Chains A and B, each alone.
Chain A
Protein backbone atom coordinates (compact mmCIF):
# COMPACT_ATOMS: atom_id res chain seq x y z
CA UNK A 1 0.00 0.00 0.00
CA UNK A 2 2.76 2.40 0.99
CA UNK A 3 4.60 1.41 -2.19
CA UNK A 4 1.49 2.12 -4.25
CA UNK A 5 1.08 5.53 -2.72
CA UNK A 6 4.66 6.48 -3.32
CA UNK A 7 4.28 5.43 -6.96
CA UNK A 8 1.20 7.59 -7.26
CA UNK A 9 2.92 10.62 -5.80
CA UNK A 10 5.78 10.11 -8.27
CA UNK A 11 3.30 10.58 -11.10
CA UNK A 12 2.40 14.04 -9.92
CA UNK A 13 5.18 16.59 -10.02
CA UNK A 14 6.19 18.35 -6.82
CA UNK A 15 4.82 21.85 -6.63
CA UNK A 16 1.49 23.49 -6.13
CA UNK A 17 -1.62 24.33 -8.10
CA UNK A 18 -1.36 28.10 -8.68
CA UNK A 19 -3.80 30.53 -7.06
CA UNK A 20 -6.05 32.98 -8.90
CA UNK A 21 -8.02 36.04 -7.85
CA UNK A 22 -11.68 35.39 -7.04
CA UNK A 23 -13.29 38.41 -8.72
CA UNK A 24 -13.61 41.40 -6.41
CA UNK A 25 -13.56 39.38 -3.19
CA UNK A 26 -9.88 39.92 -2.42
CA UNK A 27 -9.53 36.15 -1.93
CA UNK A 28 -7.24 33.82 -3.87
CA UNK A 29 -8.40 30.31 -4.79
CA UNK A 30 -6.71 27.39 -6.53
CA UNK A 31 -6.87 27.46 -10.33
CA UNK A 32 -8.37 23.97 -10.19
CA UNK A 33 -11.24 23.14 -7.86
CA UNK A 34 -12.30 19.79 -6.48
CA UNK A 35 -15.75 18.76 -7.77
CA UNK A 36 -17.24 16.76 -4.94
CA UNK A 37 -20.40 15.38 -6.49
CA UNK A 38 -18.04 12.65 -7.66
CA UNK A 39 -16.65 12.12 -4.15
CA UNK A 40 -20.05 10.65 -3.34
CA UNK A 41 -19.31 8.04 -6.02
CA UNK A 42 -15.88 7.17 -4.57
CA UNK A 43 -15.77 3.60 -3.33
CA UNK A 44 -15.38 4.31 0.39
CA UNK A 45 -15.13 7.14 2.92
CA UNK A 46 -11.44 6.27 3.18
CA UNK A 47 -10.94 6.73 -0.58
CA UNK A 48 -12.65 10.14 -0.33
CA UNK A 49 -10.39 11.10 2.61
CA UNK A 50 -7.28 10.21 0.63
CA UNK A 51 -8.42 12.20 -2.41
CA UNK A 52 -9.14 15.27 -0.28
CA UNK A 53 -5.81 15.00 1.58
CA UNK A 54 -3.75 14.65 -1.57
CA UNK A 55 -5.59 17.49 -3.32
CA UNK A 56 -4.88 19.79 -0.37
CA UNK A 57 -1.23 18.71 -0.27
CA UNK A 58 -0.88 19.90 -3.87
CA UNK A 59 -2.48 23.27 -3.22
CA UNK A 60 -6.11 22.63 -4.19
CA UNK A 61 -8.19 24.95 -2.01
CA UNK A 62 -11.45 25.38 -3.95
CA UNK A 63 -14.05 22.82 -2.82
CA UNK A 64 -17.32 22.45 -4.76
CA UNK A 65 -20.33 20.68 -3.27
CA UNK A 66 -24.14 20.87 -3.15
CA UNK A 67 -26.85 20.13 -0.60
CA UNK A 68 -28.45 17.60 -2.94
CA UNK A 69 -25.36 15.67 -4.11
CA UNK A 70 -25.90 12.00 -3.33
CA UNK A 71 -28.64 12.99 -0.86
CA UNK A 72 -26.06 14.61 1.44
CA UNK A 73 -23.31 11.98 1.21
CA UNK A 74 -20.94 14.27 -0.72
CA UNK A 75 -21.16 16.93 2.01
CA UNK A 76 -20.84 14.37 4.80
CA UNK A 77 -17.70 12.89 3.26
CA UNK A 78 -16.07 16.29 2.87
CA UNK A 79 -17.01 17.15 6.46
CA UNK A 80 -15.17 14.04 7.66
CA UNK A 81 -12.22 14.48 5.30
CA UNK A 82 -11.70 18.08 6.42
CA UNK A 83 -11.34 17.34 10.13
CA UNK A 84 -8.50 19.61 11.26
CA UNK A 85 -8.13 21.01 7.73
CA UNK A 86 -11.16 23.29 7.42
CA UNK A 87 -9.01 26.44 7.42
CA UNK A 88 -6.89 25.19 4.51
CA UNK A 89 -9.75 25.26 2.00
CA UNK A 90 -12.25 27.61 0.39
CA UNK A 91 -15.45 25.72 1.07
CA UNK A 92 -18.41 26.12 -1.27
CA UNK A 93 -21.77 24.37 -1.31
CA UNK A 94 -25.03 25.09 -3.08
CA UNK A 95 -28.58 25.64 -1.95
CA UNK A 96 -31.26 23.60 -3.71
CA UNK A 97 -34.55 25.41 -3.24
CA UNK A 98 -35.41 25.19 -6.96
CA UNK A 99 -38.09 27.85 -6.56
CA UNK A 100 -38.94 27.36 -2.89
CA UNK A 101 -38.65 30.17 -0.40
CA UNK A 102 -36.09 31.71 1.91
CA UNK A 103 -37.09 29.59 4.88
CA UNK A 104 -36.34 26.35 2.99
CA UNK A 105 -33.03 27.84 1.86
CA UNK A 106 -31.93 28.70 5.39
CA UNK A 107 -32.91 25.25 6.64
CA UNK A 108 -30.75 23.73 3.88
CA UNK A 109 -27.89 26.01 4.95
CA UNK A 110 -28.03 24.66 8.51
CA UNK A 111 -28.05 21.09 7.16
CA UNK A 112 -25.07 21.79 4.90
CA UNK A 113 -23.10 23.37 7.77
CA UNK A 114 -23.84 20.39 10.01
CA UNK A 115 -22.82 17.83 7.37
CA UNK A 116 -19.70 19.80 6.48
CA UNK A 117 -18.89 20.14 10.21
CA UNK A 118 -18.24 23.87 10.03
CA UNK A 119 -19.79 27.12 11.27
CA UNK A 120 -19.46 28.99 7.99
CA UNK A 121 -19.17 28.55 4.22
CA UNK A 122 -16.75 30.53 2.12
CA UNK A 123 -19.21 30.49 -0.76
CA UNK A 124 -22.91 29.62 -0.97
CA UNK A 125 -24.41 29.35 -4.47
CA UNK A 126 -27.91 28.87 -5.82
CA UNK A 127 -27.83 25.47 -7.46
CA UNK A 128 -28.92 24.57 -10.96
CA UNK A 129 -30.60 27.68 -12.30
CA UNK A 130 -31.74 25.87 -15.44
CA UNK A 131 -35.48 26.32 -15.92
CA UNK A 132 -36.70 29.32 -17.88
CA UNK A 133 -38.59 30.82 -14.93
CA UNK A 134 -35.89 30.16 -12.33
CA UNK A 135 -34.59 33.75 -12.33
CA UNK A 136 -38.13 34.99 -11.60
CA UNK A 137 -38.46 32.51 -8.73
CA UNK A 138 -35.01 33.37 -7.33
CA UNK A 139 -35.82 37.08 -7.15
CA UNK A 140 -39.48 36.75 -6.10
CA UNK A 141 -40.36 38.31 -2.73
CA UNK A 142 -39.17 35.95 0.02
CA UNK A 143 -37.19 33.98 -2.56
CA UNK A 144 -33.74 32.42 -2.29
CA UNK A 145 -31.94 35.69 -3.19
CA UNK A 146 -33.15 37.08 0.15
CA UNK A 147 -31.72 34.01 1.88
CA UNK A 148 -28.29 34.73 0.39
CA UNK A 149 -28.40 38.25 1.82
CA UNK A 150 -29.58 37.03 5.23
CA UNK A 151 -26.92 34.30 5.44
CA UNK A 152 -24.21 36.81 4.58
CA UNK A 153 -25.48 39.21 7.24
CA UNK A 154 -25.52 36.40 9.82
CA UNK A 155 -21.87 35.64 9.02
CA UNK A 156 -22.69 32.08 7.99
CA UNK A 157 -21.47 32.60 4.43
CA UNK A 158 -18.75 34.93 3.19
CA UNK A 159 -19.67 35.12 -0.50
CA UNK A 160 -22.64 34.21 -2.71
CA UNK A 161 -23.25 33.15 -6.29
CA UNK A 162 -25.25 30.88 -8.57
CA UNK A 163 -24.74 28.07 -11.03
CA UNK A 164 -26.48 26.43 -13.97
CA UNK A 165 -25.65 24.38 -17.06
CA UNK A 166 -28.53 25.02 -19.44
CA UNK A 167 -28.71 28.27 -21.33
CA UNK A 168 -26.67 31.50 -21.46
CA UNK A 169 -29.96 33.45 -21.63
CA UNK A 170 -30.93 32.23 -18.17
CA UNK A 171 -27.52 33.21 -16.76
CA UNK A 172 -27.76 36.65 -18.37
CA UNK A 173 -31.22 37.14 -16.88
CA UNK A 174 -29.78 36.33 -13.44
CA UNK A 175 -26.94 38.81 -14.05
CA UNK A 176 -29.38 41.55 -15.12
CA UNK A 177 -30.75 42.00 -11.59
CA UNK A 178 -27.84 44.04 -10.18
CA UNK A 179 -27.69 41.58 -7.29
CA UNK A 180 -24.28 41.56 -5.58
CA UNK A 181 -23.22 38.09 -6.74
CA UNK A 182 -19.58 37.35 -5.99
CA UNK A 183 -19.41 34.33 -8.31
CA UNK A 184 -21.17 32.72 -11.26
CA UNK A 185 -20.53 29.12 -12.26
CA UNK A 186 -20.99 27.84 -15.82
CA UNK A 187 -19.95 25.11 -18.25
CA UNK A 188 -16.76 26.13 -20.08
CA UNK A 189 -14.85 23.86 -22.42
CA UNK A 190 -13.38 23.81 -25.91
CA UNK A 191 -16.62 22.34 -27.33
CA UNK A 192 -18.79 25.13 -25.87
CA UNK A 193 -19.97 26.43 -29.24
CA UNK A 194 -23.70 25.72 -29.16
CA UNK A 195 -25.35 28.11 -26.63
CA UNK A 196 -21.84 29.25 -25.79
CA UNK A 197 -21.26 30.41 -22.24
CA UNK A 198 -17.75 31.50 -23.20
CA UNK A 199 -19.14 33.83 -25.86
CA UNK A 200 -22.26 35.11 -24.12
CA UNK A 201 -21.82 34.91 -20.33
CA UNK A 202 -18.10 35.03 -19.53
CA UNK A 203 -17.63 38.58 -20.93
CA UNK A 204 -20.63 39.85 -18.94
CA UNK A 205 -19.37 38.28 -15.70
CA UNK A 206 -15.96 39.81 -16.33
CA UNK A 207 -17.54 43.21 -17.07
CA UNK A 208 -19.40 43.10 -13.74
CA UNK A 209 -16.30 41.94 -11.83
CA UNK A 210 -18.05 38.72 -10.82
CA UNK A 211 -15.70 35.75 -10.53
CA UNK A 212 -16.42 33.09 -13.16
CA UNK A 213 -16.16 29.47 -12.04
CA UNK A 214 -15.76 26.97 -14.87
CA UNK A 215 -17.16 23.45 -14.85
CA UNK A 216 -17.70 20.55 -17.28
CA UNK A 217 -14.26 21.05 -18.83
CA UNK A 218 -14.51 17.54 -20.31
CA UNK A 219 -18.26 17.66 -20.94
CA UNK A 220 -19.52 16.69 -17.46
CA UNK A 221 -18.74 12.97 -17.63
CA UNK A 222 -15.76 12.88 -19.95
CA UNK A 223 -17.83 13.05 -23.16
CA UNK A 224 -15.25 15.22 -24.93
CA UNK A 225 -12.61 12.58 -24.33
CA UNK A 226 -14.79 9.53 -24.97
CA UNK A 227 -15.89 10.88 -28.34
CA UNK A 228 -12.35 11.74 -29.36
CA UNK A 229 -12.60 15.54 -29.41
CA UNK A 230 -9.65 16.12 -27.05
CA UNK A 231 -7.35 14.40 -24.58
CA UNK A 232 -8.10 15.08 -20.89
CA UNK A 233 -4.97 17.25 -20.73
CA UNK A 234 -6.06 19.37 -23.71
CA UNK A 235 -9.58 19.77 -22.33
CA UNK A 236 -8.40 20.81 -18.88
CA UNK A 237 -5.72 23.16 -20.22
CA UNK A 238 -8.23 24.89 -22.47
CA UNK A 239 -10.78 25.43 -19.67
CA UNK A 240 -8.16 26.60 -17.17
CA UNK A 241 -6.79 29.16 -19.65
CA UNK A 242 -10.06 31.11 -19.84
CA UNK A 243 -10.89 34.19 -17.73
CA UNK A 244 -12.06 32.11 -14.76
CA UNK A 245 -11.08 32.08 -11.10
CA UNK A 246 -11.09 28.29 -11.01
CA UNK A 247 -11.97 25.24 -13.07
CA UNK A 248 -13.97 22.72 -11.07
CA UNK A 249 -13.26 19.13 -12.00
CA UNK A 250 -15.06 16.15 -10.52
CA UNK A 251 -12.84 13.51 -8.92
CA UNK A 252 -13.97 10.04 -7.89
CA UNK A 253 -10.66 8.13 -7.98
CA UNK A 254 -7.01 8.81 -7.22
CA UNK A 255 -6.27 8.16 -10.89
CA UNK A 256 -8.47 11.09 -11.96
CA UNK A 257 -6.97 13.32 -9.28
CA UNK A 258 -3.45 12.51 -10.47
CA UNK A 259 -4.42 13.20 -14.07
CA UNK A 260 -5.82 16.59 -13.02
CA UNK A 261 -2.89 17.50 -10.78
CA UNK A 262 -0.41 16.73 -13.54
CA UNK A 263 -2.07 19.50 -15.57
CA UNK A 264 -2.81 21.89 -12.71
CA UNK A 265 0.47 21.87 -10.78
CA UNK A 266 2.51 24.87 -11.95
CA UNK A 267 -0.10 25.50 -14.65
CA UNK A 268 0.61 28.13 -17.30
CA UNK A 269 -2.30 29.37 -19.47
CA UNK A 270 -2.30 28.50 -23.18
CA UNK A 271 -1.72 31.28 -25.70
CA UNK A 272 -4.68 32.48 -27.79
CA UNK A 273 -3.33 30.70 -30.87
CA UNK A 274 -3.26 27.41 -28.95
CA UNK A 275 -6.82 27.98 -27.70
CA UNK A 276 -7.97 28.64 -31.25
CA UNK A 277 -6.24 25.49 -32.49
CA UNK A 278 -8.20 23.46 -29.91
CA UNK A 279 -11.51 25.12 -30.90
CA UNK A 280 -10.76 24.30 -34.53
CA UNK A 281 -9.95 20.72 -33.61
CA UNK A 282 -13.35 20.40 -31.88
CA UNK A 283 -15.50 22.33 -34.31
CA UNK A 284 -16.55 19.44 -36.51
CA UNK A 285 -17.74 17.35 -33.57
CA UNK A 286 -19.00 20.09 -31.32
CA UNK A 287 -20.72 22.85 -33.24
CA UNK A 288 -24.20 21.32 -33.00
CA UNK A 289 -23.86 20.74 -29.24
CA UNK A 290 -23.79 16.95 -29.40
CA UNK A 291 -21.12 16.73 -26.72
CA UNK A 292 -22.99 19.05 -24.34
CA UNK A 293 -26.36 17.35 -24.03
CA UNK A 294 -26.87 18.95 -20.61
CA UNK A 295 -27.78 22.13 -22.52
CA UNK A 296 -30.39 20.32 -24.64
CA UNK A 297 -32.22 17.79 -22.55
CA UNK A 298 -33.65 17.63 -19.07
CA UNK A 299 -32.01 14.25 -18.58
CA UNK A 300 -29.06 15.88 -16.81
CA UNK A 301 -31.14 18.08 -14.50
CA UNK A 302 -31.22 16.96 -10.88
CA UNK A 303 -34.17 15.16 -9.33
CA UNK A 304 -34.87 17.76 -6.64
CA UNK A 305 -35.26 20.49 -9.27
CA UNK A 306 -37.41 18.29 -11.48
CA UNK A 307 -39.74 17.53 -8.60
CA UNK A 308 -40.14 21.20 -7.78
CA UNK A 309 -40.86 22.03 -11.42
CA UNK A 310 -43.16 19.01 -11.94
CA UNK A 311 -40.97 17.64 -14.69
CA UNK A 312 -40.97 13.95 -15.59
CA UNK A 313 -38.35 11.75 -13.97
CA UNK A 314 -35.34 10.50 -15.94
CA UNK A 315 -37.06 7.16 -16.32
CA UNK A 316 -40.14 8.82 -17.79
CA UNK A 317 -38.07 10.95 -20.16
CA UNK A 318 -35.39 8.68 -21.58
CA UNK A 319 -32.91 10.15 -24.00
Chain B
Protein backbone atom coordinates (compact mmCIF):
# COMPACT_ATOMS: atom_id res chain seq x y z
CA UNK B 1 0.00 0.00 0.00
CA UNK B 2 2.68 2.50 1.04
CA UNK B 3 4.63 1.61 -2.11
CA UNK B 4 1.58 2.00 -4.34
CA UNK B 5 1.03 5.43 -2.81
CA UNK B 6 4.66 6.42 -3.44
CA UNK B 7 5.61 6.87 0.21
CA UNK B 8 8.52 4.41 -0.01
CA UNK B 9 10.13 2.09 -2.57
CA UNK B 10 10.03 -1.71 -2.47
CA UNK B 11 13.75 -1.66 -1.80
CA UNK B 12 13.37 0.61 1.21
CA UNK B 13 10.45 -1.37 2.61
CA UNK B 14 12.12 -4.77 2.36
CA UNK B 15 15.48 -3.52 3.58
CA UNK B 16 13.79 -1.89 6.56
CA UNK B 17 11.82 -5.03 7.45
CA UNK B 18 14.93 -7.21 7.12
CA UNK B 19 16.88 -4.81 9.35
CA UNK B 20 14.49 -4.92 12.30
CA UNK B 21 16.47 -6.37 15.22
CA UNK B 22 15.26 -9.76 16.39
CA UNK B 23 13.75 -10.84 13.08
CA UNK B 24 15.02 -14.22 11.90
CA UNK B 25 13.50 -14.04 8.44
CA UNK B 26 11.26 -11.71 6.48
CA UNK B 27 8.55 -13.52 4.57
CA UNK B 28 7.51 -11.92 1.33
CA UNK B 29 4.84 -13.12 -1.08
CA UNK B 30 5.85 -13.79 -4.67
CA UNK B 31 3.48 -14.15 -7.59
CA UNK B 32 5.82 -13.50 -10.53
CA UNK B 33 9.41 -13.95 -11.59
CA UNK B 34 9.68 -10.19 -11.72
CA UNK B 35 8.90 -9.90 -8.01
CA UNK B 36 11.24 -12.81 -7.24
CA UNK B 37 14.10 -11.12 -9.12
CA UNK B 38 13.44 -7.81 -7.37
CA UNK B 39 13.42 -9.43 -3.93
CA UNK B 40 16.49 -11.58 -4.63
CA UNK B 41 18.43 -8.55 -5.70
CA UNK B 42 17.56 -6.81 -2.42
CA UNK B 43 18.27 -9.89 -0.31
CA UNK B 44 21.54 -10.85 -2.01
CA UNK B 45 22.99 -7.37 -1.61
CA UNK B 46 21.49 -6.93 1.85
CA UNK B 47 23.27 -4.98 4.51
CA UNK B 48 21.24 -3.95 7.57
CA UNK B 49 20.13 -0.33 7.80
CA UNK B 50 21.71 1.75 10.52
CA UNK B 51 19.47 3.02 13.31
CA UNK B 52 19.75 6.51 11.76
CA UNK B 53 18.57 5.22 8.38
CA UNK B 54 15.65 3.41 10.02
CA UNK B 55 14.66 6.53 11.94
CA UNK B 56 14.79 8.62 8.79
CA UNK B 57 12.46 6.19 7.02
CA UNK B 58 10.06 6.13 9.98
CA UNK B 59 10.01 9.93 10.01
CA UNK B 60 9.25 10.03 6.28
CA UNK B 61 6.34 7.58 6.67
CA UNK B 62 4.83 9.06 9.82
CA UNK B 63 2.77 11.93 8.37
CA UNK B 64 0.93 9.53 6.08
CA UNK B 65 1.07 6.24 7.91
CA UNK B 66 0.53 7.01 11.60
CA UNK B 67 -3.23 6.57 11.40
CA UNK B 68 -2.82 3.07 9.94
CA UNK B 69 -4.16 3.87 6.48
CA UNK B 70 -1.58 1.58 4.83
CA UNK B 71 -2.19 -1.29 7.22
CA UNK B 72 -5.90 -1.89 6.82
CA UNK B 73 -5.40 -5.53 7.80
CA UNK B 74 -4.97 -4.21 11.34
CA UNK B 75 -8.19 -2.23 11.11
CA UNK B 76 -10.71 -4.12 9.07
CA UNK B 77 -12.22 -7.57 9.19
CA UNK B 78 -12.09 -7.51 5.41
CA UNK B 79 -8.59 -8.96 5.52
CA UNK B 80 -9.32 -11.78 7.92
CA UNK B 81 -9.57 -15.27 6.48
CA UNK B 82 -13.16 -16.28 5.72
CA UNK B 83 -12.63 -19.67 7.43
CA UNK B 84 -11.69 -18.00 10.69
CA UNK B 85 -14.41 -15.36 10.35
CA UNK B 86 -16.95 -18.09 10.08
CA UNK B 87 -15.62 -19.91 13.14
CA UNK B 88 -15.98 -16.67 15.12
CA UNK B 89 -19.42 -15.84 13.78
CA UNK B 90 -18.11 -12.78 11.94
CA UNK B 91 -19.83 -11.62 8.79
CA UNK B 92 -18.47 -12.83 5.48
CA UNK B 93 -17.86 -10.52 2.54
CA UNK B 94 -19.67 -12.44 -0.15
CA UNK B 95 -17.92 -10.52 -2.93
CA UNK B 96 -14.48 -11.68 -1.73
CA UNK B 97 -12.86 -14.19 -4.06
CA UNK B 98 -12.02 -16.58 -1.19
CA UNK B 99 -15.64 -16.55 -0.08
CA UNK B 100 -16.86 -17.14 -3.60
CA UNK B 101 -14.52 -20.14 -3.79
CA UNK B 102 -15.82 -21.49 -0.48
CA UNK B 103 -19.42 -21.05 -1.51
CA UNK B 104 -18.64 -22.77 -4.81
CA UNK B 105 -16.91 -25.63 -2.98
CA UNK B 106 -20.00 -26.13 -0.86
CA UNK B 107 -22.14 -26.54 -3.94
CA UNK B 108 -19.90 -29.44 -5.06
CA UNK B 109 -19.43 -31.24 -1.74
CA UNK B 110 -22.79 -30.72 -0.14
CA UNK B 111 -21.22 -29.82 3.21
CA UNK B 112 -23.49 -27.52 5.20
CA UNK B 113 -22.16 -24.01 4.78
CA UNK B 114 -22.31 -21.69 6.52
CA UNK B 115 -23.13 -23.80 9.54
CA UNK B 116 -24.21 -20.85 11.59
CA UNK B 117 -26.08 -17.95 10.18
CA UNK B 118 -26.56 -14.64 11.95
Query: What is A's interface to B at a CB cutoff of 8 Å?
Result: 131-134, 136, 227, 285, 288, 290, 293, 296-299, 309-312, 317-319
Contact = CB atoms under 8 A, between A and B. Distances in A.
B103 interface: no
Given A288-B89, A317-B72, 19 more contacts: A131-B67, A131-B68, A133-B67, A285-B89, A290-B88, A290-B90, A296-B75, A296-B77, A297-B77, A298-B72, A310-B64, A311-B67, A311-B72, A317-B76, A318-B93, A319-B77, A319-B78, A319-B91, A319-B93
A288 B88 contact: yes
A298 B89 contact: no
Main secondary structure of the interface of B (DSSP, over half): loop
Given A227-B118, A318-B93, A318-B95, A134 B72 contact: no
B66 interface: yes
Interface string B96-109: 00000000000000
Interface of B: 64, 66-69, 72, 75-78, 88-91, 93, 95, 118
Main secondary structure of the interface of A (DSSP, over half): loop
Contacts of A299: 76
Contact of B89 (A133, A290, A297): A290
A168 to B, nearest CB: 15
Contacts of B95: 318
A133 B71 CA distance: 13
B106 to A, nearest CB: 21
Contacts of A131: 67-68
Contact of B67 (A134, A297, A319): A134
A133 B64 CA distance: 10
Contacts of B64: 310
A319 B118 CA distance: 14
Nearest to A166: B75
Nearest to A301: B75
Given A297-B76, A298-B72, A309 B67 contact: yes
A309 B93 contact: no
A132 B66 contact: yes
A285 B75 CA distance: 21
